Chains A and B, each alone.
Chain A
Amino acid sequence: MQALLRRFLPPRLVLSVGLASIGIAGLLVGRAISEPTVRADDPNLQVDQNRGQATPPGPDSTPIPGATPDKTIPDWYVPYLNQEKVAPKFHGEINGIQLGAASGPTPSCAKTEIEPNWAVATLGTPFDLKLKALPDRVSLWGEPRVGLCADDGRVMWAMAILQVASGPYVNGMGGSVQVGRWESVRWASQEFLADRVTAGTIAGRPAVFADVGPSGFGQAAVFVLDKEIDGSTMVISSNVSLDYLKIIAEGLYR
Chain B
Amino acid sequence: MSRFWFRLTALFVFATGLVAGVLLPSEASATTYTYYVTSQPGTNSGTAVLTCGWHSICTSGTDGNALDWQNSSSSAVYWRSWSSNTQGIDWVGRVSVQNRDQGTCHTTYAELKTPLGTSMDGIYFLHTASSIPSSPPYVMSSGAYPVTTYFVVGSSVSNDCETWPAHLHQERTSYWAKNSYFPTRATCDNDAGCQYDDVWGPYHSKITWYASGY
Interface residue stretch chosen among A1-9, A18-26, A123-131, A200-208: A18-26
User: Of A27, A76, A81, A114, which contacts B17 at CB under 8 A?
Assistant: A27
> What chain B residues lie within 8 Å of A42 (beta carbons)?
210, 212
B118 within 8 A of A: yes
A-B CB contacts (within 8 Å), total count = 231
Q: Check: A79 CB closer than 8 A to any chain B CB.
A: no
B68: interface (CB < 8 Å):
no
Q: Say yes or no: is A121 at the interface (Cβ < 8 Å to chain B).
A: no
| Of the residues B9, B26, B87, B100, contact of A19 by C-beta under 8 Å | B9
Most buried by A among B100, B120, B163, B211: B100
B192 interface residue per 8 A CB criterion: no
With A142-B64, A236-B100 as contacts: A161 and B124 at CB distance below 8 Å: yes
Q: Which of B103, B120, B134, B211 contacts A49 (CB 8 A)?
A: B211
CA distance A40 to B211 in the complex (A): 8
With A85-B134, A238-B96 given, is the CB distance from A48 to B33 under 8 Å? yes
Also in contact, A44 and B99, with CB within 8 A (given A112-B161, A171-B119): no
Known: A26-B14, A217-B113. A172 touches B121 (CB 8 A): yes
In the complex, are the beta carbons of B115 and A74 less than 8 A apart? yes
- Give min CB distance, A31 to chain B, whole Å: 4
A175–B163 touching, CB < 8 Å: no
Interface of B is mostly: mixed
For chain A, residues 47 to 67, give those with C-beta under 8 angstroms from any C-beta of chain B.
Answer: 47-49, 51, 59
The answer to whether B111 and A239 touch across the interface, beta carbons within 8 angstroms, is: yes
Task: Give chain B nearest CB distance to A96 CB in angstroms.
Answer: 16
| Beyond A24-B17, A26-B13, A27-B17, 9 additional pairs, beta carbon < 8 A | A32-B21, A40-B212, A112-B161, A116-B60, A142-B64, A171-B117, A174-B174, A185-B102, A238-B109
Interface of A with B (CB < 8 Å)?
15, 18-20, 22-42, 44-49, 51, 59, 71-77, 81, 85, 106-107, 109, 111-114, 116, 141-143, 145, 147, 157, 159, 161, 163, 170-176, 178, 180, 182, 185, 188-191, 215-219, 234, 236, 238-239
Enumerate 6 A-B pairs (CB-CB under 8 Å) in ascending A order: A19-B9, A19-B13, A111-B163, A141-B173, A141-B174, A157-B103
